[in-house]
Amino acid sequence: MDISNRNEEQYLTFALGKGRLANKALELFEKIGITCEEMKDKSSRKLIFVNESLKIRFFLAKGPDVPTYVEYGAADIGIVGRDTILEENRNVYEVLDLGFGKCRMCVCGAPSAGELLQHHERIRVASKYPNIAKDYFYNKKHQTVDIIKLNGSVELGPLVELSDVIVDIVETGSTLRENGLEVLEEVCPLSARMIVNPVSMQMETERIKSLVNRLRAEIVNAV
């Protein structure tokens, strides 16, 4: 192995879920002195951003792909919502709750649909998160349901009678309110999490532990 390869191995690579979570994560990293000036240029079409002095690389990916990059070791560390971690169920370590992106995974529907959840009826459930929905209904509620996968605007499901209820993220609740729907049951709380590749955790234990400790201290301070 030549020297450049050895240097290459010293980089810690972060995969960030594109969008709000990535911006919040970068703000948090900046507070502990991890910056990436290259990433601030919004007009840039670059996909990978490097901080040479800290030997850190960042790339942005679609949220559901972040656990995939981390499981395969293409990224050592990922920042992604707990919803995605639960849905993708990849072989990664979840090491830190970053405390932002707080919301809830809920079963929602018209108020009248509440009744359907009480009697173990075979109902239709639309969701962007079929695995979370399946786990909740089959393993926690022991209710057999038909799950319909959608890719967004899931609230349409009950409105156009595609489904009886939905399993979806509720943050402020305004999408539900404006469409005459409500939370019927809470599945679990959600927030942004840091995940780590199991091999990276072994090979870079000190570096990753120190990063997690500094981030944890910053998060506690901010509360």
Q: Please tell me whether residue 172 binds ligand PRP under the rule CB under 6 A.
A: yes
User: Which of 37, 152, 160, 220 forms a contact with ligand PRP (CB under 6 A)?
Assistant: 152
Q: What mask, x for binding ligand PRP by CB under 6 A, covers residues 117 to 146? A: -----------x------------------
Q: Please tell me whether residue 168 binds ligand PRP under the rule CB under 6 A.
A: yes
Token pair belonging to 103: 């919301």
Residue with tokens 């939370």: 183
Q: Please tell me whether residue 165 binds ligand PRP under the rule CB under 6 A.
A: no
Q: Please tell me whether residue 171 binds ligand PRP under the rule CB under 6 A.
A: yes
- Report H helices in the chain: 3-9, 20-31, 66-71, 82-88, 130-134, 156-159, 174-177, 198-203, 205-222
Q: Please tell me whether residue 169 binds ligand PRP under the rule CB under 6 A.
A: yes
Q: Residue 160, Cβ neighbours under 10 Å: how many?
A: 7
Is residue 143 classed as helix, strand or coil in its secondary structure?
coil
Based on CB atoms, which residue is closest to ligand PRP, 79 or 170? Answer: 170
Residue nearest to ligand PRP according to CB distances in the complex = 152
Q: Please tell me whether residue 22 binds ligand PRP under the rule CB under 6 A.
A: no
Q: Please tell me whether residue 187 binds ligand PRP under the rule CB under 6 A.
A: no
Based on CB atoms, which residue is closest to ligand PRP, 91 or 153? Answer: 153
In the sheet that holds 12-17, the strands lie side by side as 48-51, 56-61, 12-17, 77-81, 192-196, 93-97
Amino acid present at 207: R
Q: Please tell me whether residue 179 binds ligand PRP under the rule CB under 6 A.
A: no
Q: Decide: 187 and 106 in contact? Cβ < 8 Å.
A: yes
Under rule CB under 6 A, how many of the chain's residues touch ligand PRP?
Answer: 13
Residue 172 DSSP label: S
Task: Point out which residues bind ligand PRP (CB under 6 A).
Answer: 128, 152-155, 168-175
